[in-house]
Structure 1
Amino acid sequence: MHSLTLPKWTRPSSLAAALAAAASVAVAGPLDEPHLNIIPRTEAEAARIAAATALTSDFSAPGRFEEMSAGAATVRVTPDANAFSQPSGNISFEHELDFKVGNGLFRKIWVSSPSSTLASDGLGPLYNARSCQRCHIKDGRGHAPENAEDNAISMFLRISIPGKPEDAIPEIKDYIASLPDPTYGTQLQDFSVAGHPAEYRLQVDYDPVEVPLSGGQVVTLRRPTYTAADLGYGPLHPDAMLSPRVAPQMIGLGLLEAVPAADILALADPDDADGDGISGRANIVWSHEFGQPMLGRFGLKAGNPTIKEQSASAFVGDIGISNPIFPAASGECTDLQADCQAAPHGDGDDRGFEIDDEGLDLVTFYSRNLAVPARRNVDDPEVLRGKELFYATGCTSCHRPAFVTHRLKDQPEQSFQLIWPYTDMLLHDMGPGLADNRPEARATGTEWRTPPLWGVGLTSQVSGHTQFLHDGRARSLLEAILWHGGEAQPHRDSVVDMPPVDRDALIKFLESL
């Protein structure tokens, strides 16, 4: 048994500033976007973009186009749990067919080898789920297990051990070296095919933490302790670092991928040069697809640079499915798991991999085009008051409201869209309360990527719960705010001290996103 207790955007937006920021975070690569077919912006377009994305000071009415969270790709809100499962609103008929085929692969239930269903075999031998949809249920958020009988199908523990200086990636400045656990690899799998023990059972225990608020309200938070129980292959390395991860929502990923790297890097302020207390940093990661450093965008610590690479790493790590980017036939099995390495796999037919490049591209296309629903109640007076408080409290320092995506030659759905994701895509120190004490590329053990807030108000409708943060410990949006620390501590404290009516308005604004 092994336990871990987890205790403004006012930046310059010019390309010159972005280049300077890039030089400060990595030796090479963060501005490279080889996965995108970009049409450069003109000076006139840059001026229009600056005006369209500037912070507002008028809270008497919604901003222009603000209800269209994803620009022309926005879709209407369905009244059921399928609100996050719609294709981009501006998708063509031909591309909608690709979306549906990708959805089929995303939902496919994989089986173990050998099997008569050759196109679907290759599961495991160790795995966390048998399909992408099993974790990203209805393309929404996963949840932490509520009790001993509840499974952890949409949650797992990442694992690594500290590396040595020679294990760092020299092309990336400030890279924090880490290595897989010698026995258990980079994540713990709680399922396995017949004849192989699972790696562990995830156990979560909570301690109550009372937080008094203005107006006499008291909120009880729950502080989690994570236990890797019933280890199937012996003890973890004595220096093992564990990090709990709940599956995030899937909407809007293609638009986030299409935000210019220069615009994100221009927001970075690692030394807090402007003195606002916010020190956003870019995570620069090694791309296995392109063999170079790139800006990290996806994952809870921005550990993957593209949707395709994120999808490929999930296939091999979560399901044990080999693919062109991560070709290991035995998935996450390590050299110390000899029987697992020697088990039958599904690479022996014409596919070459258990999911080939065509299949991976279709899943990537599906993931890229899961649409963001339109905002609700944008002109409600209480929502407008909550929006004003969101800005005045300084939440926009990290949750940047708007971007404009690249012009793209071959992705019309994501091309040149004004979007409202409420994220800066950067890493921020969130304090000891949320720390997992495990680094990832340049991200430290206290840093997390600012999560996008679009769609957050539909979580209950889509996922059937209101669990938030990287490990689902927060059971409401207010609890999520109260866990903020580090750079966000003053903003969190402002919410604690707000009159209750203002707190209610702030939450109502968030629920409109």
Structure 2
Amino acid sequence: MKILSTVRFLIACVGISLAACHSSVEPQENNWTYAGGETTVFSTGPDAYTLPLANLNKDGLQKHLEADAMFAQQFVTEPAERFGGLGPIFNQNACESCHIRNGKSAVPAYSGDPSSGLLLRLGTENGEELPGFGNQLQTKAVFGFTPEGKISIEEREKIVRFADGMETKIRELQYGIQDSYIPLPASTRISPRMAQAVYGLGLLEAVPESEILALADENDRNGDGISGRPNWVWDKQQQSIRLGRFGWKAAQPSALQQSAAAAHNDMGLSNPLFPEENCTGQNNCGGDGKMDISNEELELFTFYFQTLGVPAPRNQNSNKVKQGRLLFFEARCNACHVPPLHTGPHPIRELAYQTIHPYTDLLLHDMGEDLADHRPEGKASGREWRTPPLWGIGLTQVVNPQATFLHDGRARTIEEAILWHGGEAEYSKQFYMKLPKSEREKLLAFVESL
């Protein structure tokens, strides 16, 4: 179990430097290798996303261990004295049920599969909450309540032909809702969302707002076809509009609110930022007015996300990877997947003032009709998505062999994900498709090295 592995990790670190506890991969004289700056961890195995920041101090390590236990905790129904309050309707009962070893979830194995970490966000065509359902389909319920429905899934493939005549297949997934507890409104908009990896969130939170906004070019004034723009969202803790930076559409402004929203929407746990019961459309919600999780517990959830280290890239001195990096830039992938960012001040001092390489600008981009969900969220349109970070992406299926890519999990490989790009990324996709196989392999080798 992950808790035991973390305990063994900390025990092994007693009396020796933390750096010595990472795997045998050695850092190289190249700051590309330090994806998270001084926080970078060096592991290439299934535990790659589970290690704390490399520079975390002793007190921080102890708190991280406590937070790890919270992340793994399975919540139950009331009147349990501890870890009660699950539901009344929910998707999963523990964080790690969706974020497998802190990585991505898997596509449902079949229609109605209750074990997948995939969620269905709901709304109307105008971006409002769906009457009777709220903003997320709840597929499970405690005794006395009714699940809102099950997720249905259909799969089909289409053939893509490269300029050199070679062909490949890419998969499309069609999600729907079956056995809904009430009829779905005609205005229903469905947006499938795979659970994302949670490492490195503290570093992304520590990037100054000004640095992210400097990358925005909403009106494409430089004429490069890229017009990233920020999503401005409501910060419940600060009671003000702030820059969104977390989630598939950058709908959450902070790691704390990301944790609170997930606890409420995914597990039905009321908390200081979301104090209401999660039972939209159902009567007799119950509840005694108490928070299911306290502010202290919410902060522990958040501290765990914030203090997970980012794994270092691999094989950076390989000629194939070096040539692939050049192709990555030539294809203009870096226009959205920006390699270097810098952190500023942060309450967790280990996160502050680091040069990091997350390969994201944390901005919204129009990704074309093929990837559109037609569900607005905040300032994000139904065609826009936040640029997902690429750091650690090459270890995705090492950590969870069933994990896939893109917001709905349709892409079984990184190449498939590239071939689904459109909109502002159309040039990059076409560049890739025109490359001969040997050059495509180089570009993929670079991305997989991250």
- TM-score for the superposition, normalised by structure 1: 0.80
The amino acid across from 2:212 in the alignment is I
After superposition, the Cα gap between the structure-2 partners of 1:134 and 1:476, relative to the gap in structure 1 and judged at 3 Å, is same
Q: Which has the higher contact order (CA 8 A, sep 6+)?
A: 1
1:277 is matched with which residue: 225, 234, 241? Answer: 225
CA contact (8 A) 2:194 2:407 kept: yes
Q: Spell out structure 1 runs of 4+ moving beyond 3 A.
A: 148-152
Q: Which residue of 1 aligns with 2:31?
A: 65
- How many angstroms apart in 1 are the aligned matches of 2:399 and 2:234? 34
Please state if 1:434 is matched with 2:371.
yes
Q: Deviations for 1:243-279, whole angstroms, at most 9, x for unmatched residues?
A: 1000000111000000010010011111100000001
SS in 2 for 1:222: strand
Q: Is the 8 A contact 1:214 1:500 kept in 2?
A: no
The CA deviation at 1:153 is 2.7
Correspondence for 2:66 among 101, 120, 124: 101
Deviation (angstroms), 1:204:
1.0
Structure 1 residue matching 2:266: 3-state secondary structure: helix
Aligned to 2:17: none
Note if contact 2:111-2:151 (Cα within 8 Å) is conserved in structure 1.
no
Cross-structure match for 1:477: 414
Structure 1 equivalent of residue 309 of structure 2? 371
- Are the aligned partners of 1:279 and 1:487 in contact in 2 as well (CA < 8 Å)? yes
5 Å-filtered alignment, 1:47-58, equals: none
Amino acid at match of 2:65: K
CA contact (8 A) 2:125 2:374 kept: no
Query: Structure 2: 5+ residue runs without aligned partners?
Result: 1-27
Could you tell me how far 1:360 is from its partner in structure 2?
0.6
Q: Does 1:160 align with 2:123?
A: yes
Cα deviation for residue 148 of structure 1 reads 3.9
TM-score by length of 2: 0.92
In structure 2, the residue matched to 1:254 is 202
Q: 1:75-101, CA deviations, whole angstroms, 9 ceiling, x for partnerless residues?
A: 11153x221011000000111111111
Map of 1:141 onto structure 2: 104
Residue aligning to 1:197: 146
Cα offset, 1:162, TM superposition: 4.2
- Tell whether 2:375 aligns with 1:443: no
How far is the alpha carbon of 1:449 from its aligned partner?
0.2
The CA distance in 2 between the partners of 1:108 and 1:511, in whole Å, is: 32
SS of the residue 1:235 aligns to: coil
Q: Cα deviations across residues 30-86 of structure 1 (Å, max 9, x unaligned)?
A: xxxxxxxxxxxxxxxxxxxxxxxxxxxxxxxx984110100000011153x221011
3-state SS, counterpart of residue 338 of structure 1: coil
Kept in 1: contact 2:176–2:190 (CA 8 A):
no
Matched, 1:235 2:180: no
Which residue is equivalent to 1:405? 343
CA distance, structure 2, for counterparts of residue 446 and residue 308 of structure 1: 27
How many corresponding residue pairs? 423
Contact map agreement 1:128 1:153 (CA 8 A) in 2: no
Question: What secondary structure does 1:203 align onto?
Answer: strand
Q: Please tell me the residue identity of whatever aligns with 2:72.
A: R
AA in 1 matched with 2:202: G
**Change beyond 3 A, Cα 1:313–1:477:** same
Taking the aligned partners of 1:150 and 1:229, their CA distance within structure 2 comes to: 12
Structure 1: tracts of 5 or more residues without a match: 1-61, 164-177
Q: Tell me the residue number matched to 1:41.
A: none
Rounded Cα–Cα distance in structure 1 between residues aligned with 2:188 and 2:111: 24
Q: For residues 198-245 of structure 1, give each alpha carbon's deviation from its aligned partner in whole angstroms, at most 9, with x where no partner exists.
A: 11110110121110113332111112211111102x112211111100
